């Protein structure tokens, strides 16, 4: 079976961004006519559209599309969700894991929707602190559970390959709402995710 691409790009945006990348590459002292760089501006333009597609997606609608009435009222955890985002300060990647828990209040959500909303918010220019809050607030405001917890552990290329160049540093952010503001519930969550 031949390889098929499923990605779609706005060609006007692609052409505009491609031309900007050509200028950037030239300004850095490279030859955009060199064989290895001929298609780089277009590839970079498409990559940036993919990596920032979260601006055109609605995380609330994603959650609402899979909410179900259910009497279950114990902790639900999805841990080790892969995270890839771009730091808004340097447009360099940061990556790691997200751990999400919620305690239902008459409604549950399809488990795949939690990683999907992580991707929606991560595929924007971000800072880890805001990303944590956006995921937390989206779940809390949409699902209206008894409580929500979000922990993000990430490595930032802006710290690893430039600036202070600390390759082994990990940044951890967390947020808690409702029942997770109680120390015993929070501790149970942190124990279950291995923290």
Active site residues: 87-90, 128, 156, 158
CB-facing half-sphere around the CA of 22: CA atoms within 13 A: 12
Would the annotation count 87 as a binding residue? Answer: yes
Nearest to 92 by CA among 167, 172, 157: 157
Would the annotation count 138 as a binding residue? Answer: no
Would the annotation count 99 as a binding residue? Answer: no
Nearest to 171 by CA among 159, 157, 158, 154: 154
Q: What is the 3-state secondary structure (H, E, C) of 68-106?
A: EECCCCCCEEEEEEEEEEEECCCCCEEEEEEEEEEECCC
Q: Are 91 and 132 in contact (CB under 8 A)?
A: no
Distances from the Cα of 150 to the Cαs of 7, 43, 176, in angstroms? Answer: 30, 34, 7
> Which tokens go with 176?
């808690």
Specify binding-site residues. 87, 90, 158
Specify binding-site residues for Zn(2+). 87, 90, 158
């Amino acid at each position: 079976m031949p390889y098929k691409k499923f990605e779609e790009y706005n060609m006007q945006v692609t052409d505009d961004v491609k031309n900007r990348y050509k200028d950037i590459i030239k300004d850095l002292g490279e030859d955009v006519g060199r064989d290895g760089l001929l298609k780089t501006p277009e590839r970079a333009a498409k990559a940036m559209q993919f990596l920032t597609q979260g601006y055109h997606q609605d995380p609330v609608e994603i959650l609402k599309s899979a909410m179900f009435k259910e009497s279950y009222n114990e902790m639900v955890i999805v841990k080790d969700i892969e995270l890839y985002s771009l730091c808004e300060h340097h447009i360099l990647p940061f990556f790691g894991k997200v751990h999400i828990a919620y305690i239902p209040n008459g409604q549950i959500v399809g488990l795949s929707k939690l990683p999907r909303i992580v991707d929606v918010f991560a595929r924007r220019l971000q800072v880890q602190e805001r990303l944590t809050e956006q995921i937390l607030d989206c779940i809390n405001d949409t699902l209206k559970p008894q409580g929500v917890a979000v922990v993000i552990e990430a490595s930032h290329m802006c710290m690893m390959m430039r600036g202070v160049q600390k390759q082994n540093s990990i940044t951890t952010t967390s947020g808690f709402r409702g029942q997770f503001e109680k120390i015993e519930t929070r501790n149970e969550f942190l124990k279950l995710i291995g923290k």
